[in-house]
Structure 1
């Protein structure tokens, strides 16, 4: 029996949330993002007609669309509405995967025996819009890749159903850029040898693609041929991430403690960005030589940027560590997490800072966490067995 996989994408989610609270923004070219030196986190369809796109520098966006209204954005509002949407879907769908703050996969395989799968999905979509006031697009097909491409093609037009026998006719005329894993570099590489449509890509020998672009070549060939066996992963909300460091010898060396804290922050912030989380609560923990344990926390604007988190952790440590006794353990926890499409806080950080973090994360992902780090944080080395095991895995 073939699978029935739904992809739901909330249309211009950040923009739609803002318009829900302020109807005067309807029809206005709207950009959600940071200040003049920031980047676009989201933009309305009215702004997109002028060429404005996500992750574009705000200055460039305003040159393309000078009449656009720029808003900083409200992650707390977006997170709350996303949570409401998640609850509606989880109440009705058998298996739900929350891919991002505004994107969901549903596995409704077998439901067509009792109720038309498309009809059921359409009624779910109507329920979401009725209860939240937010628009969405969905596509129903045999796997996650085809469904996701389907929502992209159906945006602002219609919801799509792409049965198995129509998968290849649907994919063939589309640009290879429609395949989720194809970035600018891959597109340019394939374009130079005349591969611009999915049909041409699907007819290429998979071995040739593997030689050209490495291990992803075979996976790309499968997606071009409508093959994707990846399951819909049931969604569970992460509450927090944390790390601790136990000293082999109790210490009172403030400079050393702060260097280790920097390294701990850098490790956790990289994990936040890798998993696409933003944190709103910072907690620091210390344990004295006599085993007394104290904690202190503070609320912050949603972020996953090292420099912001390091500043808050250092300030908390200075307020918490007052007894000047030797310490045997320090720890950090980031909680109040929300999902986000973007890897760093685009509402606060500049274009230059975005580029820096993306470059650092790329190096860490490819060569390991230790490949690039701040000198101040180089003292941090996990010495707990659990930490070492996680690093090896």
Structure 2
């Protein structure tokens, strides 16, 4: 019987996604300590196998340090085209079956199955969907089923690797109680350390602390933590639509054929929405460029790409599309750039061949843009036609960074 307010939420998570795809491509890698990432001394680990984790290796760790912990680890450079392909294949399978689903990242999905127990039985249905995904993709995937998103995600983590776990309605608090506070989603090292300094080590202890006291300790985050510790999460499953996009366009004061100027505008526009993409912690899987000629004919061309939010990757695709699209040699009235097929995700995971320096550079640039505005720091190429002596200090600094990091 479905009680008032009772929901049924499933969480699917592809286990060690990048590693699993690499093992699918090369079966000899199974059961071995495998690292996915760049191979230089200053590269970082994008993903690692369970066997590698036993040595203390984790994602975002410098590759050099990972190899000290496990000298015999195998390194694969990463194939984001393949990862994107499999992510979309799983998305298509879920979209063809689920009444309502959310793609929360490249390898995670939430499904709202509320009311389905009246007809099929949610656990049976999700188990069959999981088997279907594994059969069609040959990839391991774990499943958690509960009354809300947070508990279902924790259940999935407990079911890994390649398992499933269902938490009956009303048993959420008891399920979470014996766990360490770090098991609660979004509890990082700093928050966990603050709680442990106050003697709070388990979710049970956290759930018993007065919510007002937690708020005094941690601010609004304290209220959220109290709810999570008590198995409460009202956040909805947000319907996934590939059509969601971030875009910008510019109508020129005077129609132009100055390709140097147009190129600089493409750089400026791509940087603008690239920063917006990273600010929302999203990746794009499709780039579109739009041209409107002086006779008002409007043409567009789009390209599906591996999920990314890295400016140097996006700029390459935007330029490629523009040169493929611009074939009339007429004056241009307007240009536009759009990123679509958005998924949640951190841009660092696409930087397989980049170093700690490159990641730090992106973080520093985004930090400056967050404080002062996206337009404060731009590539020197977005100021085409200006002599270097006429550039603003931040533009000169960008040119210096570009010389040091040519890929950027």
- TM-score, length-normalised on structure 2? 0.80
Question: Are the structure 2 counterparts of residues 377 and 265 from structure 1 closer, same or farther at C-alpha, using a change threshold of 3 Å?
Answer: farther
| Kept after mapping to 2: 8 A contact 1:40/1:346 | no
Superposed, which structure 2 residues align to 1:236-247 within 5 Å? 236-238=241-243, 241-247=246-252
Shift of 1:343: 1.7
2:72 aligns to what SS in structure 1?
A: coil
For residues 343-385 of structure 1, give each alpha carbon's deviation from its aligned partner in whole angstroms, at most 9, with x where no partner exists: 24222322222233235446656x5854863275998xxxxxx
Question: Are the structure 2 counterparts of residues 302 and 93 from structure 1 closer, same or farther at C-alpha, using a change threshold of 3 Å?
Answer: closer
Shift of 1:244: 0.6
| Kept after mapping to 2: 8 A contact 1:262/1:376 | no
Shift of 1:160: 1.4
2:239 aligns to what SS in structure 1?
A: coil
Shift of 1:253: 6.8
Question: Are the structure 2 counterparts of residues 349 and 280 from structure 1 closer, same or farther at C-alpha, using a change threshold of 3 Å?
Answer: farther
Say if 2:16 is the partner of 1:12.
yes
CA RMSD of aligned residues (A): 3.2
Distance 1:124 1:316 in 2: 38
Q: 5+ unaligned residues in a row in structure 2: which ranges?
A: 384-408
Name the structure 1 match of 2:275. 270
Distance 2:222 2:127 in 1: 35
Distance 1:234 1:15 in 2: 28
| Kept after mapping to 2: 8 A contact 1:245/1:329 | yes
Decide which moves more: 218-227 or 346-355. Answer: 346-355
Distance 1:256 1:84 in 2: 40
Aligned length: 376
Question: Are the structure 2 counterparts of residues 52 and 77 from structure 1 closer, same or farther at C-alpha, using a change threshold of 3 Å?
Answer: same
Distance 2:27 2:361 in 1: 37
Superposed, which structure 2 residues align to 1:259-298 within 5 Å? 259-273=264-278, 274-279=280-285, 281=287, 283-289=288-294, 291=296
| Kept after mapping to 2: 8 A contact 1:263/1:376 | no
Superposed, which structure 2 residues align to 1:43-192 within 5 Å? 43-156=48-161, 158-192=163-197
Distance 1:128 1:317 in 2: 37
Superposed, which structure 2 residues align to 1:279-358 within 5 Å? 279=285, 281=287, 283-289=288-294, 291=296, 303-310=308-315, 313=318, 327-334=332-339, 337=341, 339=343, 341-344=345-348, 345-358=350-363
For residues 238-269 of structure 1, give each alpha carbon's deviation from its aligned partner in whole angstroms, at most 9, with x where no partner exists: 47643211134456776665544333111221
